[in-house]
Amino acid sequence: MSLRYKATFRVKDFLFTALWDEDGRLWHLTFGARPAGAFLNRLPKGYSFTEAPISFKKSLEKELLAYFSGQTKTPVYPTFLSGSSFEKRVWLALLEIPFGEIRTYTWLAQKIGSPKALRAVGRALSKNPLPILYPCHRIVAKSGLGGFSSGLEIKKKLLTIEGIHVNSLTF
């Protein structure tokens, strides 16, 4: 594994922890104070990071700020997806959901050619290492918001930023 760099920073009301490789590709982006939780637990014991170069952090902050300010629909940033082939199919399909729109877990399962794999899709979404860039917050359940690895309050905020009125969603 070539992860090298880590930074924690704030953009708008959100605290992020980001992990990059030596080529500046983003591997993980986490909301909140817990730094990359389960992802870090999968790394070899004693694995350590150095502080990210300021250029990595500033360019990611710029992309996130543009998203939160409505200047860009989905941030574009060099990434590396680390996961199973199924998880990668799920995450890549998220890029097909337009800004300001939502889809269901059923839609996503059908989109990737696994219409009966709703629970597996949900698990893959919960492991999404790059939320916002791979917009899993745009997936909802037929009966409500569904889940979000960073918590429903953050999911609601992200949907609101995109102009989706969470309280008026009908299922």
Catalytic residue positions, numbered: 136
| Integer Cα distance of 160 and 83 in angstroms | 29
**Residue in this structure with the two tokens 């992990």, named with its chain if needed:** 19
Contacts of residue 150, defined as CB under 8 A and 6 or more positions apart, other chains included, come to 30, 31, 32, 131
| Integer Cα distance of 8 and 15 in angstroms | 7
Residue 73: φ, ψ to 5°: -80, -40
